[in-house]
């Protein structure tokens, strides 16, 4: 994931860079971190390069560089980019939400808050991706956000969305290894479920957005509840 800080204070970049490095080491990841002091320079860079996550300051030394204005421009041209506003001014939160900021983070940066925002940002970014499948010789791209669950079948698996089913050569284990565990949970030997599609769970049964019921094995019930509590569902449906 390519992470960018846009802030005219270099000290903030140094601090954020250290925290991201610590996050990567803790989670065995390797994210790229870049720093821009001006929103206009960042916007020019984004014409050629993909940026996944931006930490955007609200107020710059140059009064014309307003973070909310640039947030609106970035979201208009790059809607899939996740933008987190950095600010010490809570009175501007409403403007940021109206401009579609993903989160707000107050200065000075706190490690615990940053780590949580990095986690949910990665989940959001994963849900914007697609997987490719062949069906009767025709290629299909299926948004991860639209997947409800995978079910194990002899010689492969079935991928279910709210409207369709696709037969896959990949096994449930292969899908489990390929997809992020923070979003897809192996709730049963025969099912791999998208946590973003779970609306209710009780008595070891999951209810999905389309009303379908999926069982959870007894030995995986507690682990499911923990995984679901960590997953911030309100931002993904």
Q: Residues of the chain with pLDDT > 90: what percent?
A: 61
Pairwise pLDDT comparison (123 vs 220), residue with the higher score: 220
Q: Is residue 235 over pLDDT 50?
A: no
Phi (first) and psi of residue 93, to 5 degrees: -60, -40
| pLDDT tens digits, 30-73 | 999 999 999 999 999 999 999 999 999 988 878 778 888 999 99
Q: Which residues pair with 208 in a beta bridge?
A: 198
3-state secondary structure 27-83: HCCCCEEEEECCHHHHHHHHCCCCCCEEEEECECCCCCCEHHHHHHHHHHHCCCCEE
Q: What is the mean pLDDT of the chain?
A: 89
Q: Which pLDDT score, from 0 to 100, does residue 98 have?
A: 66
* Among 158, 179, 233, CA closest to 201: 233
Q: What is the mean pLDDT of residues 206-230?
A: 94
| CA gap 58, 6 in Å, rounded | 9
| 93 pLDDT tier (thresholds 50, 70, 90) | low
| CA gap 54, 7 in Å, rounded | 10
């Amino acid at each position: 994931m390519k992470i960018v800080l846009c802030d005219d204070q270099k000290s903030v970049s140094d601090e954020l860079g250290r925290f991201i490095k610590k996050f990567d080491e803790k989670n065995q990841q390797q994210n790229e971190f870049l720093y821009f002091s001006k929103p206009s320079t960042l916007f020019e860079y984004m014409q050629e390069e993909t940026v996944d996550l931006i930490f955007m300051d609200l107020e710059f030394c140059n009064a014309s560089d307003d973070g909310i204005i640039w947030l609106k421009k970035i979201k208009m041209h790059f809607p899939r980019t996740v933008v987190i506003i950095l600010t010490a001014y809570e009175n501007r939160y409403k403007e940021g939400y109206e401009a579609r900021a993903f989160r707000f983070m107050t200065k000075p940066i706190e490690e615990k808050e940053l780590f949580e925002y990095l986690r949910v940002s990665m989940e959001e970014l994963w849900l914007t991706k697609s997987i490719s499948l062949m069906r009767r010789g025709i290629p299909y791209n299926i948004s991860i956000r639209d997947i409800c669950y995978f079910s194990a079948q002899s010689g492969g698996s079935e991928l279910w969305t709210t409207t369709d089913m696709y037969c896959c050569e990949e096994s449930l284990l292969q899908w489990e290894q390929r997809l992020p565990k923070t979003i897809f949970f192996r709730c049963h030997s025969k099912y791999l479920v998208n946590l973003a599609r779970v609306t209710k769970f009780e008595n070891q049964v999951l209810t999905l957005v389309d009303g379908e019921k999926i069982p959870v094995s007894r030995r995986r019930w507690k682990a499911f509840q923990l995984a679901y509590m960590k997953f911030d569902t309100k931002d993904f449906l």
